Structure 1
């Protein structure tokens, strides 16, 4: 599958904002049987939290067949279309799950083979600008603690946003956790991964800044 084929996947319109605190999203999911999902279910895993249309992971999966990729997304229509693309493209190292990360991340990670989680990306999450909505943001101390527990030592977490206040909040949450070591003291000038997201490409084309930070999982802290 070529990069062109990924970019030509059909577009659909869905709600941009989904409240993770609404009743519809309060029930944790039951994780799948991973040996039925991936050809090699014990390969290193890249977790993308908020995978949107899935184009980023689909392209990553073609470039890195020796990795598995898992996208978590709260907008169900996007997950359905992404899974259709997985089937159409014949990929067996990428999978998408409709879920609320707030309550489903732990059961998902707990069900995976131990030590496979080696890379996490959280890219351009919903900023929830209003003060009363900030509790809906995805990067909370609880999420960081969970990633600290399951991310393999030496594994990496990349965060990025085009909203500086949101990026700073995410960076602070990871910096405050002793299990994570920031790579550098400034925002990253470029993306260390070979594939940009749709939002990243659009933001760059508009000449607007992107705030990125990379963290490695060290020996200290939760789960060490």
Structure 2
């Protein structure tokens, strides 16, 4: 399959990404829709989830991506591999995360990952960053007790901001004493993580847990 070429950066605040979301009927997406769910926000081409899904057949995986061509490509790969527990959805997650999570069976959101989100370095663009207070609150509302949130970035400032936005919400606590979690807790690394480590550059990781506030 030819690799789709898409823009690396898209402005989530533009009208193009405010269009109404079309939600699937989850029983047509997953063979067992009531299984625990791992949500990957900003999944890119979906390779992380496409590799995770066969390893954890008793868990469902949902990737969210704002670049529609990548979602189409990832779902085609999913169909080709005949994976019944993973799917990909095109949307602006900051507008529709609560809509998505409310539409799912209750009490299934077990894990959320946000890995190497667009850093939007310019100060005037930082409002475009994915981890905003409303996103954190939606995750806090729907994540099961003791559920986990894993964050990582190769930009320290972005990692620190993500952590601050989660920890200001009383539903979350850090699961480790070190400032940064020493290694990826998952057996699969994203393409960006592999590329960063191959250049001997640091990755800033944090593992959070939902608690009763």
TM range (shorter): over 0.9
Q: CA RMSD in A?
A: 0.9
1:193 paired with 2:182, answer: no
Partner residue, 1:203: 196
Instruction: Give the Cα–Cα distance (whole angstroms) in 2 for the partners of residues 183 and 40 of structure 1.
Output: 30
Q: For structure 2, list consecutive stretches of 5 or more residues without a partner in the other structure.
A: none
3-state SS of 1:215 partner: strand
Q: Deviations over 1:60-110 (max 9, x none)?
A: 001101100000000011000000001100011000001001111111100
Partner residue, 1:173: 165
1:184 paired with 2:176, answer: yes
TM-score after normalising by structure 2: 0.98
Instruction: Give the Cα–Cα distance (whole angstroms) in 2 for the partners of residues 133 and 208 of structure 1.
Output: 25
Q: 2:89 aligns with which of 97, 103, 108?
A: 97
Partner residue, 2:134: 142
Note the C-alpha offset of 1:10. 4.4
1:12 paired with 2:21, answer: no
1:72 paired with 2:68, answer: no
Instruction: Give the Cα–Cα distance (whole angstroms) in 2 for the partners of residues 88 and 54 of structure 1.
Output: 14
Q: For structure 1, list consecutive stretches of 5 or more residues without a partner in the other structure.
A: 1-8
TM-score after normalising by structure 1: 0.93
Instruction: Give the Cα–Cα distance (whole angstroms) in 1 for the partners of residues 197 and 148 of structure 2.
Output: 24
